[in-house]
Amino acid sequence: MNKSVTFTYSLAALGVASFLGLSASSALAHDGKEGHKHYTASAKAHQIAQQNLIIDTHIDVPYRLKKDWEDVTKATARGDFDYPRAKAGGLNVPFMSIYIPANLERTPGASYQLAHELIDSMEALAYRAPGKFALAASVDQVMQQQERGVISIAMGMENGSPIEGDLNNLVKFYNRGIRYITLAHSESNHIADSSYDIRKQWNGLSPFGKELVTAMNEIGVMIDISHVSDDAFWQTIELSKVPVIASHSSLRKYTPGFERNMSDDMIKALAENGGVIMINFGSSFVTQQANRYGAMIRGQIEKVQEQYGADSDEAKQRIAELRAKNPYPFATLEQVLDHIDHVKNLVGIDYIGIGSDYDGVGDSLPEGLKDVSSYPNLVQGLLDRGYSEADIEKILYKNFVRVWREVEAYAAAN
């Protein structure tokens, strides 16, 4: 191996700062060594969080517990969610994500099986701690359970692959409490193309996907367009007779070229449809730096491994140095607030909600929004930016409740 070649470990020195649209000095300001801010929400922010419903439409507890079980009815050592932290943050309605990995669709029955197992786990959670949790399948149940002081577990299915091309399965999952379905996930499936998948096999929705949109309207399951391709989004908006949601998406304005987030034109169309974009907190959804970090660091790691051998001690040492000198560029609460500001300025306050992706984005959460105890920090940030309490209530729950009730009403009339 040619050890005469030397490596420069700073991504900024390698031109990454320029690639990300930063100066070298601004890149260093995000290196985790500087700029850490301690967020302290005021008594007013805590009061707003505790006195109002907080609905977060995307929390990945079910799959987290399948992989690494902990008793979330008590304080846990790991993860972003547990009962004490949820109560401290004022969270009333976590929509628990029934997350189905995209590759399971290649094995008949696997998606369907996992979906039922994850729903079982949420039923078991509510059964084990009836004084803390209760399942919720309607807005009225949520409101009643808020009065009782218990946390309502609502459920959304992330990836429609468990439907398996059979509308009878939609009925089964509705009867088990599924109240939104994310049409696709990281790969195109039998329903829709994925924003992440370069194979756009359907050029949007499949023929069955178009049937499913109508059937979801009629039964009362909200349509979630997070993860789908742009063409699938536009076709869904055209077909749906009720508002749709983006359960955990942020803005392409701040992550250019990232199709998983929503463009301004899409947000305008979503608002015209009456829908809501639920802002994702994950750093890679919030800033361009974090969004491109993974690809850049992987590229440098591959160069080290190519030069020194993937399993060599020299490569391991140099990769450790590379990571130490270029830590993950966490987003901040302020940058999440920028996304909210932009939606408000673009289409108004009535189309914004919270879809944090807690327990779904690993350790990439922004400074100030690290777990479900952090909602008062978000409230404080909104207060600091001049949002009224009425505006904040819309973001915390009223906008989403409006959509959920409209979906319920349409289904009841059909």
pLDDT level of residue 319 (50, 70, 90 thresholds):
confident
Beta strand segments in 60-182, E? 93-99, 133-135, 151-158, 178-182
Domain 40-287+329-413: CATH superfamily is: Metal-dependent hydrolases (3.20.20.140)
Q: How far apart, in whole angstroms, are the C-alpha atoms of residue 343 and residue 336?
A: 11
> What are the angstrom distances between the C-alpha of 37 and each of 24, 32, 158, 191, 333?
21, 10, 33, 43, 10
List the alpha helices (DSSP H) in 276-312: 283-286, 288-308
Residue 215: partners with Cβ closer than 8 Å, 6 or more residues away: 167, 170
Give the H/E segment covering residue 365.
none
Which structure tokens are listed for 1?
């191996």
- In this prediction, residues 142-158 reach a mean pLDDT of 97
Q: Check pLDDT > 50 for residue 14.
A: no
Closest CA to 243 of 272, 267, 215, 266: 272
Q: What is the pLDDT of residues 187-208, one digit of tens each?
A: 999 999 999 999 899 999 999 9
- Residue 122 CA: distances (Å) to CA of 39, 65, 230, 245: 32, 10, 32, 23
Distance of alpha carbon 266 from alpha carbon 268, whole angstroms: 5
Q: Which two tokens stand for residue 346?
A: 């673009």
Q: Place 36 in a pLDDT band, splitting at 50, 70 and 90.
A: low
CA 305 to mean position of chain CA atoms = 33
Pick the more confident residue, 173 or 320.
Answer: 173
Q: Would you state the pLDDT for residue 30? A: 32
Region 137-151: mean pLDDT is 97
For residues 276 and 355, what is the distance between their CA atoms, to the nearest angstrom? Answer: 10
H or E element in which residue 334 lies: helix 333-347
Q: Which residues of 347-360 are buried (b: 16+ CB within 10 A; e: fewer)?
A: bebbbbbbbbbbbb
Average pLDDT, the chain: 91
- Which token pair is 78? 């790991």
Residue pair 228/193 in contact (Cβ under 8 Å)? The answer is yes
333-342 confidence digits (pLDDT tens): 999 999 999 9
182 vs 319, more confident: 182
Going from N- to C-terminal start, the domains of the chain cover 40-287+329-413
One-letter amino acid identity for 259?
E
Q: Is the pLDDT of residue 43 over 80?
A: yes
Which pLDDT score is estimated for 299?
A: 86
pLDDT in the model for residue 266:
98
pLDDT of 157 reads 98
| Percent of residues, the chain, with pLDDT higher than 90 | 81
Confidence of residue 315 (pLDDT cuts 50, 70, 90): confident
Q: Would you tell me how many other CB atoms lie within 10 Å of the CB of residue 113?
A: 13
Q: Which helix (H) or strand (E) holds 376?
A: helix 375-384
Of 92-96, 97-101, 192-196, 293-297, the least confident: 293-297
Residue labelled with tokens 């327990």: 359
Rounded to an integer, the average pLDDT of 246-272 is: 97
